[in-house]
Amino acid sequence: MTTPFERLAELDRLVHEPARLAILSALSACEFADFLFLQRITGLSKGNLSSHVSRLEEAGLIVISKEFIGKTPRTTVGLTPAGRDRVTAHWQDLEQLARAARRWRPT
């Protein structure tokens, strides 16, 4: 029988990484978010956010859209259906593990 603590190692590492979990969780609350907005609410540097966003895009969890508004570039990011499913499942896994950890008693 595995303990809840052992099951923590089985979490989706792509999603569980703190910066990526922050990005995905923020995006789960909206349809699309502006890159600068994501930078502001996650506290990540432009380079760090860009790196994580690229990784999530490569995995098919987010979609990136670039456009110009006048002469100003604007980058928006949104969850794909697969991304929305993965982040929802991840939070459900965390909640289940938290409940199991609270109930766990050493044998």
- Residues 54-106: pLDDT tens digits? 999 999 999 999 999 999 999 999 999 999 999 999 999 999 999 999 999 88
* Angstrom distance (rounded) from CA 59 to CA 53: 10
pLDDT at res. 6: 87
> Residue 27: which of 51, 57, 58, 48 has the closest Cα?
57
Task: For the chain, give the mean pLDDT.
Answer: 94
Q: What is the mean pLDDT of residues 15-36?
A: 96
* pLDDT (0 to 100) of residue 83: 97
Q: What percent of the chain has pLDDT over 70?
A: 99
Q: What percent of the chain has pLDDT over 90?
A: 84
CA 96 to the chain's CA centroid: 18
Domains in the chain, CATH or no CATH each:
4-91 (1.10.10.10)
Q: How far is CA 62 from CA 6, 9, 15, 52, 71, in A?
A: 29, 24, 12, 11, 25
pLDDT at 7 (0 to 100): 87
